Structure 1
Amino acid sequence: MTEATNSITLPSTSQQDFEDVEKPMEIESICPNCHENGITKIISINIPFYRQVIVMSFACEHCGLQNNNLQSGEQAQEYGTEIVLKVKNAADLNRTVVRSEYGIFEIPELELTIPPKSSSGALTTVEGVLQSVKQDLGETQPLRKQLDAVMADKIDQFLAKLDKFLSLENLWTLKLRDPSGNCFIQNPNPFHVDPHCITSHYCRSIDEEKLLGFLDDDQVIDLKQKIDPIEQAENEWKSYQDVKNEVMHFMGPCQSCGAICETRMKPTGFYF
């Protein structure tokens, strides 16, 4: 028995960035399926232009159970993050994707939503998101055809649509919304504004605050008191022009004297 897992495939363009990481730590742990001893591997990976994440994988040689999960190693950010990617070419399919256990994947063209905590956090690729859905549905099709032929036929039609998306016969959109703010979709050219992708930040809803454990389930607050709508509007990017107009501030050591000072950075362009 093999459990469908989240892909940990990394794009070849950035594979070199992952080669110098330390060897994974291996520990014996009980298999939840057959209760024999399996092996859990834990490794810390630094993802370029994002941050450090912890990847854990489990494999049982007795029953074949395998699973992978990801821990960001970071606390929830001040704001939630929403990333919208227009998938137009093979390079888009090969982008690295990081999703925490609170993140929601959505593909509007398929009316497909993968809700939070339906699986653990994932380190995968854009293509891997679809491949995981295809694998999960495909593995149960033989049994489904015996129990519900009508539903099985609908799933076959859905899988055919997935194949068209994977081959880019149909262009599509991947949305990733994560209230913890710990999500990421790679920019193939990180020194330029991404023409296919928009990242925005938003103030979490009450339900999202409860999901993260910041509020009790029975706690009621007035969002109008908690959220300044003007501040919220200022923190959201609505278009590519908003991204280009954003001035980023971060603290760092002075190259001359070593004292901590503020650095400001803004995307710009030249006519030549």
Structure 2
Amino acid sequence: MATTCDACGHRTNEVKSGGAIKDQGCRLSLHIEKEEDFRRDVLKSDTCGMSIPELDFEVGWGALSSRFTTVEGLLTATKEQLQQQGSLMLGDSAPQFKRQQMTDFLVKFDDILALKLPVTLVLDDAAGNSYIQSLNAPLDDERLSKEYYTRTFEQDDELGVNDMKTENYEQLDAVAEENES
């Protein structure tokens, strides 16, 4: 879904997954070192958390909504959201050191976007529906790694997998059809 406000020009795009939850979660790690890394396509689902370990920065599921963009677009949107949230949380009444911490943090984001600070972008999607474009597919990409993992009980619970009835499912359909007849 893409929207643009005619009044102010604000634009958003959001992707809603129509696919199934994969059998395993997926953790994608991209070392951002070169300009070409910014141009990689990214699909960040709404079940995907994001982190940048070098900044000790982590956001959970849904914090940045789902979107199809580029690495640069994702980082820029993250910075913009931090600026918006920071201005709300750190207004004039906030202590000066807190406002300075946020300013320093945003400067680091500028350094990332200017390739002055190489970092690792980690997308951790328990549903396994996120994607970062490989520049060498089908060969290995030296700056992109994919790790598949078995979800924890808590992750399955958040995704609703623990509540799904899958045993004897076909028999339940047959009983329902007989009752309708």
- Please indicate the TM-score interval, normalised by the length of the shorter structure: 0.7 to 0.9
Could you say which residue in structure 2 is the equivalent of 1:197? 144
Residues in 2 aligned to 1:68 and 1:184: alpha-carbon distance in whole angstroms: 16
Give the helix-richer structure, 1 or 2. Answer: 2
- Aligned AA for 1:106? S
Matched residue, 1:226: none
The question of 1:171 aligning with 2:118 is answered yes
Unpaired stretches in structure 1, ≥5 consecutive residues = 1-55, 217-272
Change (3 A) 1:191 1:63: closer
Instruction: Find the counterpart in structure 2 of residue 122 from structure 1.
Output: 67
C-alpha distance in structure 2 between counterparts of 1:212 and 1:103, whole Å = 11
- C-alpha change, 1:175 and 1:140, in structure 2 (3 Å) is closer
Determine what percentage of the aligned residue pairs are the same residue.
30
Q: State the distance in 2 between where 1:120 and 1:151 align.
A: 26
* Match of residue 146 from structure 1: 92
Instruction: Decide which structure has greater strand share.
Output: 1
Question: Which residue of structure 2 aligns with residue 68 of structure 1?
Answer: 13
Q: Which residue of 2 aligns with 1:10?
A: none
Distance 1:180 1:110 in 2: 25
Partner of 2:156: 209
Gaps of 5+ in 2: 164-181
How far has the Cα of 1:113 moved from its partner?
0.8
1:94 to 26, 39, 43: 39
Residue 181 of structure 1 deviates from its aligned partner by 0.7
Report the more deviating stretch, 90-99 or 116-125. 116-125
Alpha-carbon distance in structure 2 between the residues aligned to 1:65 and 1:85: 29
1:108/1:59 CA distance change after superposition, 3 Å: same
Larger mean Cα displacement after TM superposition, 88-97 or 115-124: 115-124
SS at match of 1:136: helix
Matches within 5 A, 1:178-189: 178-189=125-136
Q: Name which of structure 1's ranges 137-146 and 152-161 shifts more when overlaid on structure 2.
A: 137-146
Letter in 2 for 1:186: Q
1:37-59 Cα deviation digits (max 9, x unpaired): xxxxxxxxxxxxxxxxxxx0233
Q: How many residues align?
A: 161
Displacement, 1:142?
5.4
State the distance in 1 between where 2:86 and 2:39 align. 27
Q: 2:15 corresponds to which letter in structure 1?
A: L
1:65, distance to aligned residue in structure 2 (A): 6.0
Q: With the length of structure 2 as denominator, give the TM-score of the two structures.
A: 0.80
TM-score, length-normalised on structure 1? 0.55
Deviations, residues 178-204 of structure 1 (Å, cap 9, x unaligned): 011101100122232111111111111
Q: Would you identify which runs of 4 or more consecutive aligned residues in structure 1 move more than 4 Å? A: 62-66, 140-143
Equivalent of 2:27 in 72, 79, 82: 82
